[in-house]
Copies of this chain bind each other. A is one copy, B any other.
Amino acid sequence: MTEVIEPAIETVTIDVVLSALADPVRLTLVRAFDAAGDWACGSDVVRSTGVTIGKSTLSHHIKVLRDAGLIRTRVDGVRRLVMLRYDDVERRFPGLLALLRGDGRAAT
């Protein structure tokens, strides 16, 4: 099997999504996956962000994001590739991804 179970986007609530995005590490992950654009190895991505966490912690965050319907996981040999569910997320929560990558970060 090369696919990992993920919730149907219709069953995902905005409440769960907000809880998932509330954590700074997960928010960084989502932005990094968004910057990657397509399938990327979670370990490589987190390494590129400069965030230092254990692999068990990363596995935990990946699971939370997957349960929140934000990402999709595929098995590729010994490693797992992750990708944002662009279409699903945009259809169910229009404008959400734009808010995350928007300029609502720095202050003026």
**Which of A's residues lie within 8 Å of B, judged by CB?**
10-15, 17-19, 21-22, 24, 27, 92-96, 98-100, 102, 104-108
Contact = CB atoms under 8 A, between A and B. Distances in A.
A13 B105 contact: yes
Contacts of A107: 10-13
Given A19-B22, A22-B19, A22-B22, A14 B99 contact: yes
A14 B95 contact: no
Nearest to A24: B15
Q: Which 5 A-B pairs have the closest CB atoms?
A: A95-B95, A22-B22, A14-B104, A11-B107, A18-B21
A104 B13 contact: yes
Contact of A105 (B15, B98, B100): B15
